[in-house]
Amino acid sequence: MHPMLNIAVKAARRAGGIINRASMDVAHLKVGVKQQSDYVTEVDRAAEAAIIEILREAYPQHEILAEESGATAGTKGESDYQWIIDPLDGTTNFIHGFPQYAVSIGLAHRGVMSHAVVYDPTRNELFTASKGGGAFLNDKRIRVSNRAKLAEALIGTGFPYRVFDHVDAYIAIFKDLTQKSAGMRRPGAAALDLAYVASGRLDGFWEFGLSPWDMAAGTLLITEAGGLVGDLSGEHNYLATGNLVAGNPKIFAQLLQLIDQHKTAKLRD
């Protein structure tokens, strides 16, 4: 395993331990509201602090972009490396004791994802990938599914819950897909949804309005597992737009085509 990925795994497991211990007593969690339907707990903050401490110790010169503490420069100012961290993806699930959440850590080198970890502490499932080196689940190689027909495909998604700019287009796509796919799932942790596409548990995925830390690691898992990721035009602008489509190559193409039929002017920008 590449030393940088090794450090990321150590950080993700440390955060996972914090999350698992806290999950024993969610009834007493202090929950803060960042904005409507956007929650943060002391567990998100403690997990993030633990991750940053480990990364900083190993790579003080690297930049960090983390959900709760924002962007921090490295000790030497600008760096070619940036860690993109979601310390607890699926906070709403976590608060409710709904066991579907994960730690997500990605490393970008000159803007290109080079290493990725998504760790599900509930099931002790560790998804990892390094650019050019394939994707793994607990050290076993994973591949996207080879299901070719949308009618047989299981599609993951995230419902709009805070920003409703594209809700009409979302519902039109949802309505169409309910009739054309084998079914849809909204598990509630985007990073884990992407890991599930990488491991073939889901055949495709789409969501509007994601943040870079939801997607960074998961997208590398998918491409290294033989899948495709893109924005709503199939291009690479998803980290900037927040709109993401992913899947095995056949389902990805069919999802893009279906979504295109429901794109509003706002979504075409």
Give the nearest distance from C-beta 67 to Ca ion in angstroms: 5
For Ca ion, the binding residue among 48, 89, 193, 224 (CB under 5 A) is 89
Please choose which of Ca ion, ligand IPD, none residue 158 contacts, taking the beta carbon within 5 to 8 angstroms, the exact cut-off set by kind.
ligand IPD
Q: Does 86 bind ligand IPD (CB under 6 A)?
A: yes
Is 38 within 8 Å of 151 (Cβ atoms)? no
Q: How far apart are CA 104 and CA 16, in angstroms?
A: 10
Burial of 94 (0-12, 13-18, 19+ CB in 10 A): buried
Pattern 180-219, Ca ion, x by CB under 5 A: ----------------------------------x-----
DSSP H or E stretch at residue 95: helix 91-96
Site residues for ligand IPD, window 228-247 (CB under 6 A)?
Answer: none
Q: Does 218 bind ligand IPD (CB under 6 A)?
A: no
Strands 140-142 and 228-230: unpaired
Which of 105-115 are b and which e, b meaning 16 or more Cβ less than 10 Å from the residue's Cβ? Answer: bbbbeeeebbb
Task: Using CB under 6 A, count the residues that bind ligand IPD.
Answer: 12
Q: Does 224 bind Ca ion (CB under 5 A)?
A: no
Q: Which stretch binds ligand IPD (CB under 6 A): 6-14, 85-93, 233-241, 249-257?
A: 85-93
Give the nearest distance from C-beta 216 to ligand IPD in angstroms: 12
Q: Which stretch binds Ca ion (CB under 5 A): 67-75, 126-134, 177-185, 220-228?
A: 67-75
Is 246 within 8 Å of 229 (Cβ atoms)? yes
Is 221 within 8 Å of 135 (Cβ atoms)? yes
Q: Does 48 bind Ca ion (CB under 5 A)?
A: no
Q: How far apart are CA 268 and CA 76, in angstroms?
A: 39
Q: How far apart are CA 138 and CA 248, in angstroms?
A: 21
Q: Does 120 bind Ca ion (CB under 5 A)?
A: no
Q: Which stretch binds ligand IPD (CB under 6 A): 45-53, 84-92, 177-185, 247-255?
A: 84-92
Return the SS3 of 27.
helix
Binding site for Ca ion (CB under 5 A): 67, 86, 88-89, 214
Binding site for ligand IPD (CB under 6 A): 86, 89-92, 158, 188-190, 207, 210, 214
